Structure 1
Amino acid sequence: MGLAAFTRELGSLGTFIAEELARRRGWRFVRREILEEAARMGPLTEDELTRLVESPPGLWERLSLPARRHFYHVAARVLEYAQGDDVVILGRWSTMLLRGVRHAVRVRVCAPLDLRVERLADRLGVSRPEARALAERYDQGVRARIRQFFDVEWEDSDLYDLVINTERVGVERGCELVERLLDSPEFQPDEASRQEVRDRALALRVQESLKSDERLGHVDLHVTARGGTVVLQGVVFGPEERRAVLEVVGAVSGVAQVEDRLTVARMPIR
């Protein structure tokens, strides 16, 4: 039993390593399903959500409410899959969303840009300049989204349990390295680590519901969960908004109790 999350540079062979790991262990490989299901939760298509994950945001989008709403649609689906045993998740911010989960092995796969360009050109049948543009555009997009939503640098090796450079490490050897961690005592699941994933999944579903409610999309709250108890912290503007928040949160599946630590601020009289 276990959980592996991958992020990879385009052309780094990261997809092949993740797929081969899932095949070797008989685990489920999850990638496209996340965006397919997230698209059903909101107005965006799967292609539009792909751009949300892989393309840099414009200035207006950085400031817009829909960007956060769509983020929670995707993030909540990632944690839903992470609750299952024996799953490999590729991309979709999974390595960021699972930081601190004991049994989640988080892997970044990279390679020198020139090598990735050669691989992409050969695999896709495009020119070297086209392949370079594809790789650089993808890297720029993922890097920008990680900054936007997590305020960290995608390339920071401290964020991962394992970084694989495929300039010298192939698919088979890469799988072996990941499997060593998956089988090590430090990464074995226990009830506490499984509960951590369930709690994060519930907190994200709550955030998703709040952002999806037309009355509350502008509200930014800090939400945590523990064993069905959801703790709400932050500022709401007026008693009616507070009641709306509690109503929405109480209706989320899995919420047994709501701990209200909200601060009610009153709009100034003009």
Structure 2
Amino acid sequence: MNVITCSRQSGSRGEEIIDLLSRELNVQVVDKDSVEHALVKNGLPERSFERYDEKKPGFWDLISSDRERYFHCLKASILEIAQGGNSIIVGRGAPVLLAGVPGVLHLRIVAPLETRIHRVMEAHSCGEADARRLIRESDHNRAGFYRYFFDSDWDSHDLYDLILNTGYLKTRHALEIVRSLLKTPEFQENAATTRRLTELSLAQRILKQILVDEQIPIRFPAVEVSGGTATLTGTVNVAASIERCKAVAENTEGITEVLVQILHAPEIYNGPFM
């Protein structure tokens, strides 16, 4: 089972490399259409996908309840897709969501700005000014998406295991490098991969159920799953919310024990929950 996340700059030939790599490895490409289908299946209204997909949210988008629904549906969808294996997940914050999962390769494809400009001019049959604008808008949106949804820097080298600069590497050489890396023990599927993906997916299912489906009022919510044990933390101002959160976890398939460390502190917050 190969799971690869891939971040790409506009004009870096990322799509070309992803397509060729998927054919060679016989794995699916999880792109915009695939993610949209998974998100809708997880309960996201179709209108919300285009509103947030790899975009920097506007002011009203940031305070909309749709933002939280999109975020939790996205996390649940990416984790479910990764559990299925044999996939290249393109963008959508996957390097952050799958960070630290054993065996997952985090790939980034870049190129020098002038190279990107010439490629975009050719691909879109446009002038240099339009190409610069398209690249600037793409970079701005993708960086904003990472910053506002994941509090992360899209350009940070720390997110990636391998960065390919196609301004200097030919496509066939880039593919050879990826193939060689995938043969190493560090990027082979093992029991730790399956276990960690299962734990992350269970934790996100519980969190989504609490916050989005049940809309239980809780501050600073977090769910950790280890083995079959789920640990719930957060702060509530209504004691009954603790039992509601616990019930959600107990009714989640795959959870055998629930540890509740949610603090009841009504004096901390008495206003509406967002």
How many residues in Structure 1 have an aligned counterpart in Structure 2?
Answer: 269
Q: Choose 33-42 or 71-80, whichever is displaced more.
A: 33-42
The Cα offsets for residues 40-81 of structure 1, whole Å up to 9 and x where unpaired, read as 434532x64244132112234334443122111111111111
Letter in 2 for 1:33: S
Letter in 1 for 2:197: V
The Cα offsets for residues 11-65 of structure 1, whole Å up to 9 and x where unpaired, read as 21112212211100111221121122203434532x6424413211223433444
User: 1: CA distance between counterparts of 2:50 and 2:112?
Assistant: 24
* Normalised TM-score (structure 2): 0.89
Within 5 A, what are the aligned runs for 1:191-210? 191-210=191-210
1:26 aligns with 26
User: 1: CA distance between counterparts of 2:216 and 2:114?
Assistant: 47
Q: Any conservation in 2 of the 1:65–1:217 contact (CA below 8 Å)?
A: no
Q: Any conservation in 1 of the 2:54–2:145 contact (CA below 8 Å)?
A: yes
User: 2: CA distance between counterparts of 1:50 and 1:170?
Assistant: 34
Q: Per-residue deviation at 1:267? A: 4.1
User: 1: CA distance between counterparts of 2:44 and 2:158?
Assistant: 36
SS at match of 1:262: strand
The percent of aligned pairs where both chains have the same amino acid is 29
Q: Any conservation in 2 of the 1:233–1:262 contact (CA below 8 Å)?
A: yes
Tell me: CA distance 1:87–1:43, structure 2 relative to 1, closer, same or farther (3 Å): closer
1:52 aligns with 52
Q: Any conservation in 1 of the 2:218–2:236 contact (CA below 8 Å)?
A: no
User: 2: CA distance between counterparts of 1:241 and 1:49?
Assistant: 30
User: 2: CA distance between counterparts of 1:53 and 1:178?
Assistant: 27
1:167 aligns with 167
1:37 aligns with 38
* Normalised TM-score (structure 1): 0.90
2:182 aligns with 182
User: 2: CA distance between counterparts of 1:218 and 1:117?
Assistant: 47
Letter in 2 for 1:114: E
Q: Per-residue deviation at 1:164? A: 0.8
User: 1: CA distance between counterparts of 2:130 and 2:45?
Assistant: 28
User: 1: CA distance between counterparts of 2:252 and 2:35?
Assistant: 20
Alignment RMSD (CA, Å): 2.2
Q: Choose 124-133 or 110-119, whichever is displaced more.
A: 124-133
User: 1: CA distance between counterparts of 2:93 and 2:111?
Assistant: 19
Letter in 2 for 1:90: V
Q: Choose 16-25 or 249-258, whichever is displaced more.
A: 249-258
1:4 and 2:4 matched: yes
Letter in 2 for 1:258: V
User: 2: CA distance between counterparts of 1:124 and 1:58?
Assistant: 27
User: 2: CA distance between counterparts of 1:27 and 1:149?
Assistant: 28
SS at match of 1:101: coil
Q: Any conservation in 1 of the 2:44–2:73 contact (CA below 8 Å)?
A: no
Tell me: CA distance 1:225–1:8, structure 2 relative to 1, closer, same or farther (3 Å): same
User: 1: CA distance between counterparts of 2:253 and 2:120?
Assistant: 44
Q: Choose 228-237 or 116-125, whichever is displaced more.
A: 116-125
Which runs of no fewer than 5 residues in structure 2 stay unpaired?
Answer: none
